[in-house]
Amino acid sequence: MSDEIRRRVLIADDDPVMNRMLQATLQKMGHEVIVCLNGEMAWQHLTAPDAPPMAILDWGLPDMDGIELCCRLRQREDAPYVYIVLLTARGERDDLIKGLEAGADDYLIKPCDLEELKVRVRAGQRILDLQSKLLMAQAALQEQATHDALTGIWNRGAVLEMLHRELDRARRDQQPVGVIMADVDHFKSINDNFGHQAGDVVLRDVAQRIKTCLRAYDAVGRYGGEEFLMVLPKCMASTAVEIAERIRANMASHPVKTEAATIPATMSLGVVASIVESEINEQQLIGAADAALYKAKQSGRNRVIMAEG
């Protein structure tokens, strides 16, 4: 979330005087303020892609009151969280409980004390800031859990999970899935002759080149060492071979530039595609692709071999 959006606050009240008072106070605090006169208008703003993360909603809004608006916002489970301050002239205990149970995070009793408003808005902003940091930390952990630290592409576990999901989808949709297993030729010699740092550069370069050769919805992961596994949804054998050949040709025609040297690096690739009617599982597909890769290595490297059968 950008800082601009983070500072936005929506006010929804059908009282123009109240709106002006709240707007002036919030603007002095550095907030960008969106003013709405009814619940429907507030709903449109709060469900937009650039929705403000905080809203001050009057209980008695026309079209859709503050309670209904709270309930509807809380039903959107996958939507970004909106911190809601309910504005109400109802000061009875049961009313406040009803508002909080509807989804409000806090409340203000009319007529508003502006100092109390400032304190409650600052408290809400602190909570939103903490939530933002938590989401960023979760995203970072997810990245670490699913991506290879060296190359930045999917790691072994993540790409295997993708293959499992794609095979399930392929069975439902009656579509083939292509699998490519690729290996950097003579990679041990690259490490021995030019050093492990140069070898790391080669692996990063290979990963990025593979990505440029794949279709937008294909996936590639580092399977282990210098091996890469590609998952190609809705891909017939002939198309999978074309993609593999594109990768092989790209590597063969452009040496990898490192600080140690410009290193010629080629790849051997084994290709397989699932048959629509088959009950083949992911391990069998990987085994077939790996056998084809082994045959490519035995046949002289720098080539693409299609799995038999």
DSSP 166-189: HHHHHHHHT--EEEEEEEETTHHH
Q: What is the mean pLDDT of the chain?
A: 93
Q: How far is CA 22 from CA 12, 49, 304, in A?
A: 10, 24, 68
Which sign does the torsion angle of CA 89, 90, 93, 94 carry? negative
**Taking CA 230 as the corner, what is the angle to CA 271 and CA 284, rounded to the nearest 5 degrees?**
60
- Domain containing 123: what range? 3-143
Do 153 and 182 touch, CB atoms closer than 8 A? no
Reported as a single tens digit per residue, the pLDDT across 278-307 is 678 899 999 999 999 999 999 999 999 999
Which of residues 279 and 102 earns the better pLDDT score?
102
Q: SS3 for 262?
A: strand
> How is residue 212 written in tokens?
């440029």
Domain co-membership, 243 together with 113: no
d(CA 295, CA 287): 12
Per DSSP, 108 falls in state E
Peptide bond into 111 cis (omega under 30): yes
Query: What residues are annotated to the active site?
Result: 226
Query: What does the pLDDT average to over 44-63?
Result: 94
Q: At residue 178, what are phi and psi to the nearest 5 degrees?
A: -95, 145
**Taking CA 108 as the corner, what is the angle to CA 32 and CA 36, rounded to the nearest 5 degrees?**
40
**CATH code of residue 30:** 3.40.50.2300
Residue 212 resides in a domain: yes
Domain edge (last residue) among 98, 115, 143: 143
Domain co-membership, 204 together with 74: no
Domain co-membership, 116 together with 178: no
Indicate if the pLDDT at residue 3 is higher than 80: no
* Residue 90 banded pLDDT, cuts 50, 70, 90: confident
Reported as a single tens digit per residue, the pLDDT across 197-237 is 999 999 999 999 999 999 999 999 999 999 999 999 999 99
